[in-house]
């Protein structure tokens, strides 16, 4: 159950930077983070509340007619075990990564028999 998902102010900045600068100074979101925080997301967030892992996004697909993009990341059965995963976010690959989005949800106890697939759909309305 998702209790809050949003594109952060930094996410909006990344989108504008990459859209309107001839030579963007921010990289696109290429990584995901998963963590154990339970604080509701805020537009001002710059990181997850309690990040436990960062890894590459496994899928990005565009749906041009509907003005949305879907991204996906996977926590394998060998990753982040012993944690109750309750937050997810996309970050870019800058030297100091910028948090594009942040979601908080009911925790999933992560162990060697659990693989988690995160799917985020962002739409311009």
d(CA 90, CA 71): 9
pTM: 0.91
91 CB-contact burial (10 Å; exposed 0-12 / middle 13-18 / buried 19+): buried
* Tens digit of each residue's pLDDT (9 = 90 or more) over 41-70: 999 999 999 999 999 999 999 999 998 899
Token output for 48: 């997850």
Nearest to 27 by CA among 95, 89, 93: 93
Using CA atoms, how far apart are residues 76 and 112, in angstroms rounded to an integer? Answer: 8
Q: Within a 10 A sphere around the Cβ of 109, how many other Cβ atoms?
A: 10
- The pLDDT tens digits of the residues spanning 5-27 come to 799 999 999 999 999 999 999 99
């Amino acid at each position: 159950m998702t209790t809050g998902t949003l594109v952060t102010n930094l996410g909006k900045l990344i989108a504008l930077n990459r859209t309107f600068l001839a030579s963007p100074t921010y990289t696109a979101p290429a990584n995901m983070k998963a963590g154990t925080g339970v604080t509701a997301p805020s537009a001002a967030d710059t990181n997850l509340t309690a990040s436990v892992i960062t890894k590459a996004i496994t899928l990005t697909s565009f749906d041009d007619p509907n003005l949305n993009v879907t991204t996906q990341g996977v926590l394998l059965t060998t990753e982040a075990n012993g944690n109750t995963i309750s937050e997810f976010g996309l970050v870019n690959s800058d030297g100091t990564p910028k948090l594009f989005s942040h979601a908080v949800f009911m925790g999933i106890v992560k162990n060697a028999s659990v693989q988690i697939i995160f799917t985020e759909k962002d739409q311009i309305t």
